[in-house]
Structure 1
Amino acid sequence: MGFVIYLDHAATSWPKPPAVIQAMKKAMDEAGANPGRGSHKMAVQASRVLFGTRQSLASLFAVNNPNDIILTSNTTSALNLAIKGYVKPGDHVIATMVEHNSVRRPLEYLKRTAGVEVDYVTLSPEGELELSALERAFRSNTSLVVCSHSSNLLGSILPVAEMGALAEKHGAVLLVDAAQSAGMLDIDVKQMNIGMLAFPGHKGLMGPQGTGGLYLSPEIELEPQWHGGTGGQSEAPEQPDVRPDRYEAGTPNTAGFAGLQAGIEQVRAWTIEKVYRHEWELSQLMLEGLGSIPGVELLGPGAGKPRTGIVSFVTERMDPAMLAFRLDREYEIAVRSGLHCTPLGHQAAGTERSGAVRASVGMGTSRQDVQTLIQAVKEILA
């Protein structure tokens, strides 16, 4: 049974376009073999499915070579591959105070096990970054800058291109976590000075869960994090040198990536500009309506400022978990409560003790959905 009003798109977009489900079924019916593990027709067709998805992703992110797109199971696996595969013992890494645990935990692991130094640049409570603060954080051994393109708590958007230029100036690489921006914001890896881009398939790209990827600049080599069968160079005891095989050991989610390609093509048909405008307008409506309720405190950029379709809020009148529970049970409205896997973001916003309620919109969200949420919050807090 589905929710009447689904406002948790920042976690996973839903419902999926019909073409996504159709593409997955077609792949299961006609390309159900292992890609790259045989020369029979079904195996070849499975390989074509994966390459077609790489081509769609490369076109979306302005990547020259589709084989520089490494297919993964989600953004988290892409970030782990990028961080653990690139950072060396004794390196210094710069991140920000809005990072998801998918960035923070690998970095803290490397601090503990490899003597890596990490600084988290402070942001404003609204999630805005001063580039001068970032520049002051660089050291002679800074190898990597990691940033969330858009905060999954605040909806704020970081100046990725400028951050990439600073990283290049100081001899470092920029890794962008596009969990909340892929499919919602324009991304050009070359123009934005992005060395590595981690992204999900199941959020703004409208694909199924269990899909994601990592763009890897041709100038960057990583230490593989998985070792095993790739279907090629099977006689070698080490992982192949060729991309993408070097980073993709094991049988992939072929049907899932078929669905992802269909999702990407749907986003391209909508256009990124239309997606952003739709989500921005709904977020402004939500800010206006929720902001008019006594005792509700909104997080993130103020009205009229750039932001993705995420609006988080707190109220002293009710615990966020209870408010989200009542929205679900009494109004069939799905939102997210808690720390949203970003305790650093909550520290920046000053809500680390309480957490927050997060409502996030998608292309299937209507103005009436937002109005219903606003009215429901009013009634619950009355």
Structure 2
Amino acid sequence: MVNDQLIYLDNASTSFPKHRFDIDKFVFSEPQTLNRRGYSSNYNLENLLEETRELFKNFIDCEGKENLVFTLNSTHAINIGLRGCLNKGDHVITSKYEHAAVARTLEALKEEGLITYSTLDKIDDNSTAEEFAIEFTRLKKPNTTMLIMIHGSNVTGNFIFKKEFGQIASSNGVKVFLDASQSIGSTAFSLKEMNVDLMAFSGHKGLLAFTGIGALYFKSSLKMRIHLNGGTGKGSEVNLVYSDKEADYETGTPNIPALYSINQSIKHINYIGIDNYVNHKMNIYKYLEDEISELKEIKIYKNSCNDSLPLLSFNIRGMNPVQETSIVLENAFNIVTRAGLHCSPRAHKTIGTYPFGTVRVSPGYYNSKMDIDYFVNAVKKITKEMGSLNVFR
């Protein structure tokens, strides 16, 4: 029997429902644009851009003098940071849990003959600062200039990066780049305490904003090249733009509805209170983990949720996550999850779920314990009715 109401448990991919606000005037009612001379102040949204920039900086506890540039998404931000900071001959250290946004970009830069990189194969979510220091020292070369790591795994939800890792890399003169795509809005942290030089964000996951908006934080002391050239609406008489200010990196017309969306969603989360917002999601998540852990046919691929993001990967023993479990959950029970490799094949190789992957469940702020009860009961029915097939045992 299909549930008439959608149970959405894929917030690690994109949040749903989005925070609602009046979008009409930004799309249909007024000719809104940004930084274009000749428009009156009513139709020039530069004030919206700068207000949103300050909102975001305050949200992540970023000093005003540091840079925050809006991008299309976190993948775009990661590419800007890597291609803007790395030079030919540089060596990079990374982890085995990286999303394709990092892993494929590093591989592309290597294929282009620009960089080399090494992977912290012995470092996982249980690694101590001492263990990291040993492995980091082993991999570090004279030309090592950057450590880039995911903050919390988008496969297991476990935290991979620790602020002590940033301290160790920084003390060795290595820049630290953090992929916080899954973390923003799902855990409360101060950027000042993270010991990072660059950090990439996504707006459409934990921040409830539209797709098509992300951001890149980087210290003002970094001399980062501009890799995308074009119009900024300012200084049009100059043929070559130098990276003197944040707007120089925001070439072309931005996604104004998405910019306004993240402006409104951050204000909404601030109104709720970031601690209340995060705690609600974690309470729902802990209830999920407690309930699903009782099922003996289930294998969960993560540590305790006491220190994690609100997501987990699981499999029903004997069932293919993509071709069976997630399809049945959606088609028979109207429950949306995410199955497969989640753009992180090395993470799945690490936890032993390659090549089929896992079913990932990630509750959001608008989920309730009733949603979790319905999901767990659906899994119970599936294991009872289909577990005997053992197609992929």
- Flag whether TM exceeds 0.5 (same fold): yes
Give 1:373 deviation, angstroms: 0.8
SS at match of 2:201: strand
Partner of 2:342: 340
Letter of the 2:371 counterpart: D
1:139, 1:279 → 2: CA distance? 41
Q: Check 1:354–1:241 CA distance in 2 against 1; reply closer, same or farther (3 A cut).
A: closer
Q: Is the 8 A contact 2:226 2:242 kept in 1?
A: no
Give 1:55 deviation, angstroms: 1.0
Give 1:161 deviation, angstroms: 1.8
Q: Check 1:318–1:223 CA distance in 2 against 1; reply closer, same or farther (3 A cut).
A: same
Give 1:293 deviation, angstroms: 1.7
- Counterparts of residues 1-382 of structure 1 (less than 5 Å): 4-19=6-21, 22=22, 24-28=23-27, 32-41=31-40, 45-65=44-64, 68-122=67-121, 127-131=125-129, 132-133=131-132, 134-136=135-137, 137-302=139-304, 304-321=305-322, 322-382=324-384
Give 1:3 deviation, angstroms: 5.7
Q: Check 1:123–1:330 CA distance in 2 against 1; reply closer, same or farther (3 A cut).
A: farther
Give 1:91 deviation, angstroms: 1.0
Give 1:67 deviation, angstroms: 7.2
1:287, 1:36 → 2: CA distance? 48
2:215, 2:166 → 1: CA distance? 20
SS at match of 1:305: helix
Q: Is the 8 A contact 1:196 1:214 kept in 2?
A: yes
SS at match of 2:48: helix
Q: Is the 8 A contact 2:321 2:340 kept in 1?
A: yes
2:112, 2:335 → 1: CA distance? 43
Give 1:88 deviation, angstroms: 1.2
- TM-superposition CA deviations, 1:321-366 (whole Å, max 9, x none): 1100000000000000000000111112111122000010110010
Task: Compare CA radii of gyration and give the structure with the larger one.
Answer: 2
SS at match of 2:307: coil
SS at match of 2:319: coil
Give 1:144 deviation, angstroms: 0.9
Q: Is the 8 A contact 1:7 1:333 kept in 2?
A: yes
2:352, 2:282 → 1: CA distance? 24
Regions of 4+ moved over 6 Å: none
TM-score (norm 2): 0.90
1:174, 1:358 → 2: CA distance? 28
Give 1:242 deviation, angstroms: 2.4
SS at match of 1:140: coil
Letter of the 1:272 counterpart: I
Give 1:182 deviation, angstroms: 0.7
Q: Is the 8 A contact 2:35 2:44 kept in 1?
A: no
1:123, 1:6 → 2: CA distance? 35
For structure 1, which segment, 108-117 or 54-63, has the greater mean C-alpha deviation from structure 2 after superposition? 108-117
Q: Is the 8 A contact 2:33 2:44 kept in 1?
A: no
For structure 1, which segment, 338-347 or 262-271, has the greater mean C-alpha deviation from structure 2 after superposition? 262-271
For structure 1, which segment, 310-319 or 234-243, has the greater mean C-alpha deviation from structure 2 after superposition? 234-243
Q: Check 1:381–1:66 CA distance in 2 against 1; reply closer, same or farther (3 A cut).
A: farther
SS at match of 2:361: strand
Q: Is the 8 A contact 1:58 1:66 kept in 2?
A: no
Could you tell me the percent identity over the aligned residues? Answer: 27
State the number of aligned residues: 376
Letter of the 1:155 counterpart: G
Q: Is the 8 A contact 1:177 1:197 kept in 2?
A: yes
Give 1:188 deviation, angstroms: 2.4
Letter of the 1:308 counterpart: L
- TM-superposition CA deviations, 1:295-322 (whole Å, max 9, x none): 21101112x5311110110133210011
TM-score (norm 1): 0.93
Letter of the 1:128 counterpart: N
For structure 1, which segment, 206-215 or 272-281, has the greater mean C-alpha deviation from structure 2 after superposition? 272-281
Q: Give the CA RMSD over aligned residues.
A: 1.9
Stretches of structure 2 that go unaligned for 5 or more consecutive residues are 385-393
Letter of the 2:136 counterpart: E
Q: Is the 8 A contact 2:9 2:363 kept in 1?
A: yes
Q: Is the 8 A contact 1:62 1:189 kept in 2?
A: yes
Give 1:234 deviation, angstroms: 1.4
Q: Is the 8 A contact 1:55 1:66 kept in 2?
A: no
Q: Is the 8 A contact 1:89 1:116 kept in 2?
A: yes
SS at match of 1:45: coil
Q: Is the 8 A contact 1:124 1:348 kept in 2?
A: no
